[in-house]
Structure 1
Amino acid sequence: MDRIDNKANYRSRSLVSGYDAQRRIGEDDYVNSVEVGYFVAQVRRLVGPTGSIIDMGAGTGKLSLAFAELGYSVTAFDQSEAMLERLDAKARERGLSITCRLGDIVADAPQGPVEPSYDVAVSSRVLMHVADPDAMIGHMAALSRRGIVLDAPRRASPNRLLVGWRALTGGEVYRCFDDRILSKIIENKHLQVVNSTPLFVIPIAIHLKFLDKSAGDFLENHLRILKFMSSTIFMSAKKLL
């Protein structure tokens, strides 16, 4: 697998100040509403309306805050102290309690069997950036009692062109995944994929830069015939007992 490791890019304190704005987190945004909606639906499928969640690579809290607001017990795990500080501040502003845990999603993966500490492990837009996706998925599986939910850019999409362009122009590159290979990695961790849904016919970057919620919703609904080109695959998997 390609050697890609972007973790250093997300440790910078200077990044945090503009992180939410660049990703339109907290706004009435189509991408975030679809992403959060998928994760919430799949967590409810795995564990029901209550339970404990660990958000792996939580960033400034897109998923952590959403689950805390729904009453789940949430632990936000990230390798950036600055990101977790921002997440904690946002949680306090909303009167929410979220446990923040500093650590490396790959380096801290257990090397042997451990007792799971959470019902479900979730991760949004992280797998694409880590040095060892297999280890990350193994870490998520080891920590969860019921299952995992994650997403990843698809090889069979315009993402590969974007990554190629970034490689030529010096931008941040990330890893794209074959749907079947990703499913196999997950299944090798004693998990069974229960949902695999391709989303975002229009690349996420275009949604965030040019489209508002109503325009994004309109275009996605009218371009469903092109779903085979969807830029991102979302998957949930249950733990095999």
Structure 2
Amino acid sequence: MNTEIQEKLKKLLRLKERGGTQAETEQALAAAQRLALRHNIDLNTIDTAEEINPAGEPFVEEAHEPVGSTGKPCQTRLPACHKFLSLILQKYFAVEVIDTTRRDDDGRVCRKTMSLIGRKTNVQIAIYAYGFLYREFMDRWHRHRVATQAPMSSRNSFFYGVFLGLSSRLQENRDSFIRQETLQESSGAKPEMSTALILQSETDKVRQAVRNAHPRIKYTAMQPGNTEDKNRLVEGIAEGKKIKIHRALSKP
């Protein structure tokens, strides 16, 4: 992974660990998303339609063990908000997420984990974003539960709401990025592909990389699960929108 990009990610998505302000942490995800979008645009200026230019970046598959609330890697199950985090990464960070089960060296203990497929740098961005979002989801749920005495049975409804609220923010940020790039394109030479088409092309390439690596893979539609607590759902949406998507801290 490019060292400069890696250092930017550490700065953007580890602010909480260094005591960053709430405003800084709320803007960090926007900056990471813009970093991923910019990286995809830059890569597609050197990629050919069918293969990676030697100056480009390969697709990789990287295993990742999410860390749970105990601070240790998850064992028998992935985090409760995992499916929502995976959807965010797949829709906005140019990677595919595959849930897997691994056995320890002795073959007796199964461990739930995940693999990410995408450009090498995008995979690293997604891993950082996953950890950042996990903390956001859990912190907001814990604060909400303490404030409202919400039952644990309502947690999934709340998480689904946070997912919906955050998704709307990320979509706004993506649309804003595309509009800005389109304005720059219109003021200069006519590009071979528009920004929107470039990003869609990158999504198609990621999916092809998944098919190449796992030709027998089967996709299943994500089910949100129990979301019957409509009050928690609405409150979750409001919390998700509080993960404010402003301009990046610094333009990637």
State the TM-score, normalizing by the size of structure 2: 0.29
Q: Which has the higher helix share?
A: 2
Q: Which has the higher strand share?
A: 1
Q: Which has the higher contact order (CA 8 A, sep 6+)?
A: 2
